[in-house]
Amino acid sequence: MIDFSLPDDTRLLVDTVRRFVETEVRPLEDEVERLATVPPEALRVTKAKAQSLGLYAMNMPSEVGGGGLSCVEHCLVEEELGKTSDALIRRVFGQVYPMLMACKGDQIENYLLPTVKGDKICAMAITEPGAGSDAASISTTAQRDGDEWVLNGTKHYISDGDIADYIILMALTDKDKRARGGITLFLVDRNAPGFSVASTQPMMGHRGYGHAELLFDQCRIPADAVLGEVGEGFRLIMKSVLNIRLAHIGARAVGMASRALEMMRTYAGERRQFGQPIGDFQMVQKLIADSATEIFGVKMMVMNAAWEIDQGRDPRDKVSMIKVAASEMQGRVVDRAIQVFGGMGFSKALPLERMYRDARVTRIYDGTSEIHRMLIARGTIKNGLQL
């Protein structure tokens, strides 16, 4: 028999995160949206509260100061985090990249531990003007020169790139091998000679943090700035980010959609037209029923893939399915919520307008829906449907 019940400590964790998001984080949303930044004093107080409850860097192992959560537990937490804005998630709960566990020697004290503690901000620089979903096609290069590496290239749309204390940079060290041993990750301090932030790009959504263009012009970094091993960067990215991050993208999408559904449900019972609650109208009921059904389906997909990751399996095709299903479900549900609220849903008086804009990019980053559909089809044709 399959037991889907959660242990008491997991339930307590999820309830704690839910209450914290509702009482401490969501009240900051309007100001973040208005200012396009997280107010420093409010951030200091709220972040300190999150850290005191053990809610910072929850995705990282406990031995380095993180939450030590399993993938299932982390996805349940991410679902609750998905009910607020991405900027607040980053600042209050930490954006700590799993590949930092590849730090060694002095890197542990200089990068890993301060980031998990919340003393340093890290940015991940993969995307380039000519390399989006096809990350292996990057053109940024790293060449060894004595006791240094020399970096040249441009990265853009880099979240937090304008304020990060350091960058995890993906660069070519062998143009012929590329993803098969020719890509390396580097730790680049923001004060490294030859590094600069060219600009930040205003976005349709996800206000509150920057999306920067980064320039590396004969940028020199120490020989020991390699994260992991030379030539193993692409493999490390895939191992650290692909399965886990896609599962978490799915969980956050479930969270945002669940918040929109709850707003729909409440409003459908309160709003009256033609002498009755609009929830009595079959077309409104369809919007709610379809949303509830899709949310449940994606949540089950996320939980299944997260469980497989915890078992040490590689559910690669499944997480591509999650990326497509979750990102597109999220957009549909928020759109339906706006339809239920009518003109009020289209206004800035409610968070739905922001959620609608924020949801749109989920179909683009970390591989577009089209790319993931291609991966799903290739895997299915080659191996059949592996469920």
pLDDT of 315 strictly over 90 = no
- Give this prediction's pTM: 0.94
- Angstrom CA distances, 32 to 39, 50, 225, 354, 378, stand at 7, 18, 35, 11, 42
Rounded-to-integer distance, Cα 247 and Cα 245, Å:
5
Does residue 366 sit in helix, strand or coil?
A: coil
243: pLDDT strictly greater than 70: no
Q: pLDDT-based confidence at 240, cuts 50/70/90? A: confident
d(CA 67, CA 154): 34
Confidence class for position 242, pLDDT limits 50, 70, 90: low
| Domains, the chain, with CATH or none | 8-96 (1.10.540.10), 122-227 (2.40.110.10), 235-383 (1.20.140.10)
For residues 35 and 25, what is the distance between their CA atoms, to the nearest angstrom? Answer: 16
What 3-state class would DSSP assign to 263? Answer: helix
Question: Which pLDDT belongs to residue 133?
Answer: 74
How crowded is residue 27: how many other Cβ atoms within 10 Å of its Cβ? 12
pLDDT, tens only, 181-197: 999 999 999 999 999 99
Phi, psi of 115 (to 5 degrees): -75, -45
Encode pLDDT of 20-40 as tens digits: 999 999 999 999 999 999 999
171, two tokens: 């660069």
Q: Where are the alpha helices (DSSP H) in 271-314?
A: 282-310
Distance CA 94, CA 56 (A): 6
Residue 330 burial (CB count, 10 A): 30
DSSP secondary structure, 198-247, as one string = EEE---SS-TBS-EEEEEEEEEEEEGGGEES-TTBHHHHHIIIIIHHHHH
Q: Is 381 helix (H, G, I), strand (E, B) or coil?
A: helix
Q: Is the pLDDT of residue 215 over 90?
A: yes
Q: How many Å apart are CA 126 and CA 158, to the nearest integer?
A: 8
